[in-house]
Amino acid sequence: MRLVFLLVLHLVQISACSSLNYAEKPKRPDHTSIDFSKLRLSPASSNLSIQPSSLRSYKTGDEGTIKEERVGIPGWTMLDGIAYKLFLKWEVNPADIFQRLRSVRASGKLDDNKGFIQWLQYVNKYRAKRGGESWFADYKLVELLRKSKSDAELVTLFQSLRRYSAVKNLADEMQAYMILSS
């Protein structure tokens, strides 16, 4: 969308410059204006043909496999960051946000999940803003995670989270609480 906007803006600027050039003739003989009316935006030759292989066809011989690479929406993580800032401003309970995480709803893998790690960073910021751990204590956090994962999976999760410096202390605290509560 931004690219289209910039392209339109650029074309408008070119159009404005060319209209200024045609409005008054150059006074200097070394100054020349560009005639944009002769500029071709499409190929002049009719020999150009589109190869059938360059077109997307869904009727291929290998119907069962998808060989296209799927990518996310550009800027989506920026939107997540803005959303977390708004949640922090409104002091939204981390438990409410946790239930809406895509990986939790799909019972997906939480370790090495950027959305989950971002949520844990939000928990740290939420605690700091509210004045300490008592606002979203470790026992609440562990109980929330136990609803979606087994204890064995949580131990693996806490070990994998220790690799990220932003949530290492939180992972250690949750693992210690889980061991002490068992």
Domain of residue 114: give its range: 76-181
The answer, yes or no, to whether residue 150 has pLDDT greater than 80, is yes
Give the whole-angstrom CA distance, residue 87 versus residue 114: 18
Q: Which residue has the higher pLDDT, 59 or 88?
A: 88
Residue 166 counted as domain residue? yes
The answer, yes or no, to whether residue 45 has pLDDT greater than 50, is no
Encode 3-27: b = buried (16+ Cβ within 10 Å), e = exposed.
eeeeeeeeeeeeeeebeebeeeeee
Residue 81 counted as domain residue? yes
Give the whole-angstrom CA distance, residue 105 versus residue 101: 6
Residue 102 counted as domain residue? yes
List, in order, residues 6 or more apart from 1 with CB less than 8 Å away: none
Confidence of residue 163 (pLDDT cuts 50, 70, 90): very high
Note the pLDDT of residue 172: 92
Using CA of residue 145, residue 151, residue 154, residue 158, what is the dihedral sign?
positive
If you search the block for the tokens 């060989």, which residue do you land on? Answer: 67
Give the whole-angstrom CA distance, residue 127 versus residue 167: 13
Mean pLDDT is lowest, of 77-81, 105-109, 161-165, for: 105-109
Residue 28 counted as domain residue? no
Minimal CA–CA distance to 126: which of 97, 155, 168, 159?
A: 97
Q: Report whether 93 contacts 136 (CB < 8 A).
A: yes
Residue 63 counted as domain residue? no
Instruction: Count structural domains, the chain.
Output: 1
Residue 117 counted as domain residue? yes
Q: Report whether 94 contacts 122 (CB < 8 A).
A: yes
pTM: 0.57
Note the pLDDT of residue 156: 92
Most confidently modeled range among 22-31, 58-67, 96-105, 115-124: 115-124
Per residue in 53-69, pLDDT tens?
A: 444 555 555 555 555 55
Residue 131 counted as domain residue? yes
For residues 85-102, average pLDDT? 90
Q: Report whether 140 contacts 95 (CB < 8 A).
A: yes
Residue 35 counted as domain residue? no
